Amino acid sequence: MSQIVTRFPPSPTGFLHLGGARTAVFNWLYARHTGGRFVLRFEDTDTERSSPRYVAAILDALTWLGIDWDEGPYYQSQRLEVYRQHLQRLLEAGRAYYCTCSPERLEAMRREAMARGDKPKYDGTCRHLGLGPGPGAAVRFKAPLSGATVLRDVVKGTIAFDNAEFDDFVICRSEGTPTYNFAVVVDDITMGVNTIIRGDDHVMNTPKQIQLYEALGAPLPVFAHVPMVLGRDRARLSKRHGAASVTEYRDQGFLPDAVVNYLVRLGWSCGDQEFFTRAELIERFSLEHLGRSAGVFDPEKLLALNAEHLRAKPPAELIALLRPFFRELGIELEAGPRTEKIVAGLAPRSKTLADLARQARFYFQEDFAYEEEAARAHLKEEALPVLTAVAARLATLEDFQESALEEAFRAVMAETGLKLGKIAQPVRVALSGRAASPGIFEIIAILGKEATLRRLERAIGFIRRGGKAPPVTGAGDRKMRKGLDAEGCGG
């Protein structure tokens, strides 16, 4: 075979969901793996349901996933002349004919066949009448009446279809628009597509398409029909299983590499490996390892894989991805060593970008609220001597590196006779508002001397007022939102 050419042909009648995204990913990966070409086209001849809004949404989703295309996007609605030319070829070759049977005649034909216990299909009334074009005339393909049409599929194996089971199907409607099976074959022939990876819900369309390829004198592409993605109940994946449009996962804070990784593993394997970088997927993807059993969508597995990708990504690369989530919190995130350190400390504790942003909020906003349970457990009367001793000790420090901070806390331990945990927990809540956070020395080093002392004094005041917070002024917020690089990280 010459250069591999794959394609992704969504219908812009809705948003891009996981099943369609997986099809796009498989075709894109195979093109990239083989050094081939990946074609994008929109099957938008359904004018009532197709919308530019969905075109834009699909393009947005593909771009977020990192799926680029070498040709297109093409639009079927702009290719009607191409379909007319190929339709004329079939008519002139005697492989298609005009049909003027009315909808009422076709419905009566269907009912009569069902009454006889036969399969409802067209009876060939117009097959030999030699009709020409005219009002209400559709064009039907003159299908073979005997023999078999054979599909040799990379995933499904060889499937033979009895031609007697098929009828002369419509390839051009009476108003002049091509039907799906005809348009897709013409598109794939004229675009040079020679490898088609798609869901196995298209298997029953394939014999009709094979017959059209043969009638048009074109070589057959390689077909690979992959099993559909199912929910945990083994039913076809839908919103009730937690499946959302691709851009919803983006908005929830998933990484595109994680979503691509997960989609590929829903139907392709490479040993027992679950985590793949994008480069590894491009290097290893092949048709031979496409699965024959349906992949089951598990939101928890996707979340776990996303957390793994979050941990693996360099903090500097995460900053740009995090900005929209910080912006939702009213924070303009700036790049720099301190921000990278914050991200590095929280990435192992986070499952999504949104989760990481929420956890990092305390670094940027001083007037945060204390978690009720954490304050009740740790910001109480007996914590006053601890917080006061820590504040006094830190006030004398010039070096705010973690090693110096550890030494200061050891001195407080010796002074109070308390273990580190009894000291660190009230300090942690004072600095972050939470009982769980990155390491206490890491937090202090990042916040710096001034911010740390302000927060300790705030917590001391909170305890002395009997657990009542002072009015939120926002002044601290404004200072911190301008960027942490003004202070902190060792003073």
As a whole number of angstroms, the distance between CA 221 and CA 240 comes to 36
Interhelix angle 315-328/337-346, nearest 10 degrees? 90
Q: How far apart are CA 95 and CA 436, in angstroms?
A: 73
Q: How far is CA 480 from the centre of its chain?
A: 33
Contact at 8 Å (CB) between 293 and 227? yes
Strand partners, 99: 138
Cis check for the bond before 73: say yes or no (omega within 30 of 0).
Answer: yes
Q: Is 482 in the active site?
A: no
Rounded to whole angstroms, how far apart are CA atoms 293 and 155? Answer: 10
Residues paired with 229 in a beta bridge: 295
Q: DSSP strand E in 287-347: where?
A: 295-296
Alpha-carbon distances of 348 from 290, 317, 360, rounded to whole Å: 32, 15, 12
The kind and range of the H/E element at 157 are: strand 157-162
Assess contact for 429 and 370: CB atoms under 8 A: yes
Catalytic residue among 119, 121, 156, 239: 239
Local structure of residue 3 (DSSP, 8 states): S
> Hey, how many other C-beta atoms are within 10 angstroms of the C-beta on 324?
15
One-letter amino acid of 103 = P
CA distances from 136 to 49, 101, 179 (A): 23, 8, 15
Phi, psi of 8 (to 5 degrees): -130, 115
Residues labelled catalytic:
239
